[in-house]
Amino acid sequence: MGSEILKKDLLNSVGKIITLFLDNGFRYECRVITCDDSFVKIFDEVKSREKLINLNQIAEVDGI
């Protein structure tokens, strides 16, 4: 997934609950807060806290 496409899709998903799969095997059930050129800010629904994820670490996204 290209970073521009990913960034655009994440920006269009602000407020939605999605699943992020990272290249290190981690998975997040999360609500998208915002996104810029390098990071997506999420609210982790499982741990009930905010987190920043580098776009380069995202392997797959479900729900956008």
Domain ranges, residue 37: 3-62
Q: Maximum distance among all alpha carbons in the chain? A: 29
* pLDDT per residue as tens digits for the range 5-62: 999 999 999 999 999 999 999 999 999 999 999 999 999 999 999 999 999 999 999 9
Q: Is the pLDDT of residue 2 over 60?
A: no
Q: Are strands 58-62 and 27-35 parallel, antiparallel or unpaired?
A: unpaired
Please provide the distance, in angstroms rounded to a whole number, between the alpha carbons at the two ends of the chain.
13
- The CATH number that applies at residue 43 is 2.30.30.100
Q: Is the pLDDT of residue 3 over 90?
A: no
Report the alpha-carbon distance of residue 15 to residue 11 in Å, rounded.
Answer: 9
> What's the confidence (pLDDT) of residue 1?
46
Instruction: Please count the structural domains in the chain.
Output: 1
Query: Which pLDDT band holds residue 64 (cuts at 50, 70, 90)?
Result: confident
Q: Is 13 helix (H, G, I), strand (E, B) or coil?
A: coil
